[in-house]
């Protein structure tokens, strides 16, 4: 059986001049029946990359979406940014959504998905809302809190409704959902933990890392299976 081609965006270490990607992303795509395609940051090649793909995963990383992209100045609470990576991912994500390609945004990828639809972010949960507990200490793959999945959503069709244990490695979060963006899960403290774009075949963003936490909660593997299934349907 041919494996749908699933694009995975990469992080980078400028000091060592290397691209990086946690193996869990690749393992999750392979286990779901997809073929991982790694995407270096080259804006001029974004269209050529997209033409190869059946679905896209915008991965997370230890950096923030630049607040300028949602109309704000960066405050001291904002963390480091990756301008070149974010510019490439923004181009790729906007094109993928326009072409109705299946998309999964993970952690910072979810935040960028919201921003490209005109939404905003909390630059820091503690500073903006007085909320802590969303940046767990190691091990980063273990569940640290639950989220409540909203009934009737794409995410609920994939994972079921009710409380789901997740890992948590973020200090930013979606504030105002963008155009056509639906909130599909929240933490008990009200923080938005998942979004989707219901007028597209498959466009889901999750604030946690399902590819990492599935070792403790196997239900999370369904997110990658659903993405690969959507990519396979697109091929047909």
Active-site residues, by number, are 107, 209, 211
Q: Mapping DSSP to helix (H, G, I), strand (E, B) and coil, where does residue 163 land? A: strand
Max Cα-Cα span within the chain: 51
Tokens at 183, concatenated: 């909130």
Question: Is the backbone of residue 190 left (phi > 0), alpha (psi -120 to 50) or beta?
Answer: left
b/e per residue 5-34 (b: at least 16 CB within 10 A): bbbbbbbbeeeeeeeebbebbbbbbeebbb
Helix (H) or strand (E) holding 29: helix 23-31
Strands 192-196 and 203-206, by their bridges, are antiparallel
CA 23, distance to chain mean position in Å, is 16
Peptide bond into 139 cis (omega under 30): yes
Asked whether the CA dihedral 185, 186, 187, 193 is positive or negative, the reply is positive
């Amino acid at each position: 059986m041919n494996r749908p081609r699933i694009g995975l965006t990469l992080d980078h270490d400028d000091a060592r001049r290397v691209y990086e990607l946690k193996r869990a992303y690749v393992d999750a795509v392979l286990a779901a029946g997809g073929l991982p395609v790694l995407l270096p940051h080259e804006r001029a090649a974004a269209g050529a990359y997209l033409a190869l793909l059946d679905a896209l995963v915008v991965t997370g990383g230890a950096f923030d979406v630049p607040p300028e992209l949602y109309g704000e100045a960066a405050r001291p609470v904002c963390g480091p940014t990756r301008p070149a990576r974010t510019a490439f991912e923004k181009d790729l994500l906007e094109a993928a959504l326009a072409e109705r390609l299946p998309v999964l945004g993970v952690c910072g990828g979810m935040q960028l998905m919201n921003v490209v639809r005109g939404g905003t972010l909390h630059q820091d949960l503690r500073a903006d809302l007085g909320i802590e507990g969303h940046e767990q200490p190691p091990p980063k793959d273990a569940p640290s809190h639950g989220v409540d999945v909203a009934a009737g959503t794409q995410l609920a069709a994939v994972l079921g409704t009710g409380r789901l244990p997740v890992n948590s490695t973020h200090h930013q979060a979606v504030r105002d959902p963008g155009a056509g963006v639906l909130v599909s899960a929240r933490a008990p403290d009200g923080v938005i933990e998942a979004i989707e774009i219901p007028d597209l075949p498959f466009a889901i963003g999750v604030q946690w890392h399902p590819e990492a936490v599935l070792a403790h909660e196997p239900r999370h593997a369904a997110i990658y299976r659903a993405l690969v299934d959507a990519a396979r349907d697109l091929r047909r």
